[in-house]
A = this chain, B = another copy of it.
Amino acid sequence: MSPKITDAQRDHKRKEILEAAMRVFTRQGYQATTMKDIVDESGLSRGGVYLYFTSTKEMLIAIIEDMDRESYDQLDELLTQYPSVWSALNALFDQAELDIKNFETCLIPALYEALMFGWRNKTYEDLNNARYDKSIAKIVDLLQAGVERGEFRPLQPLETIASMIATFNDGLMIHAMQLGPERSRSAEQIKAYKQVFKNLLGVQEEGTE
């Protein structure tokens, strides 16, 4: 009879496995990673890992769900942390710049690789659709707060502006990955896009930082 394990122990083990998976995905990408790579990295037994996850795809989805939960929470808290909605938005742009600088040691390229590769066989279609809709809804909520506070007088529907932010963000990340931040002028683009969105949102001068 095996010893009973508590929920806390279970959560801890799950976290340990996912952290090993993130290190391997970050190092060698998603497609090139096998379950054996992650078992080896975790230092746990094969059977121990398979109790929690039976494929790298399951691990990837669990990692994305954890990351999304965290970043949705961050989005919800943004408004309490910054004096204006516009300065909160600027923090998001600055975060993108930071992510780009840390690409070599960050999971984002592996995520893009996995989600992009899954496109044709629709592996991640439902996940992609749900994540996109939820991100857009979160950004719209943020922008709507700016409108209600009298900070913004937007020139376009908020849904369109939110989609444009998502397009810009993903385009920027993918170019920085493929070409490097220097060649794709990431920093200059982020600076210019801040100006673009300031204009599109009709940021009222008293509302800026």
Chain B residues lying within 8 Å of A159, measured Cβ to Cβ, are 185, 188
Task: Find the B residue at minimum CB distance from A170.
Answer: B171
Chain B residues lying within 8 Å of A133, measured Cβ to Cβ, are 183
- Which residues of chain A in 142-170 are interfacial with respect to chain B, using CB atoms and an 8 Å cutoff? 155-157, 159-161, 163-164, 166-170
Chain B residues lying within 8 Å of A179, measured Cβ to Cβ, are 128-129, 132
Q: Is residue A75 contacting chain B, with contact meaning CB distance below 8 A?
A: no
Q: Is residue A64 contacting chain B, with contact meaning CB distance below 8 A?
A: no
Instruction: Tell whether A177 pairs with B119 under 8 Å between CB atoms, given A164-B189, A188-B163, A189-B163.
Output: yes
What range describes how many residues of A lie at the interface? Answer: 35 or more
Binary flags per residue of A19-32, CB closer than 8 Å to B gives 1, else 0: 00000000011011
- Which residues of chain A in 166-196 are interfacial with respect to chain B, using CB atoms and an 8 Å cutoff? 166-172, 174-175, 177-179, 183-185, 188-189, 192-193, 195-196
A200, B192: Cβ atoms closer than 8 Å? yes
Q: Is residue A120 contacting chain B, with contact meaning CB distance below 8 A?
A: yes
Q: List 27 A-B contacts (CB under 8 A).
A: A109-B120, A112-B116, A113-B120, A117-B117, A119-B177, A128-B179, A132-B175, A132-B183, A156-B188, A157-B188, A159-B185, A159-B188, A163-B175, A163-B189, A164-B193, A164-B196, A167-B175, A167-B184, A167-B189, A168-B168, A170-B174, A171-B171, A171-B172, A171-B174, A192-B200, A196-B196, A199-B199
Q: State the A residues within 8 Å of B (CB).
A: 28-29, 31-32, 109, 112-113, 115-117, 119-120, 128-129, 132-133, 155-157, 159-161, 163-164, 166-172, 174-175, 177-179, 183-185, 188-189, 192-193, 195-196, 199-200
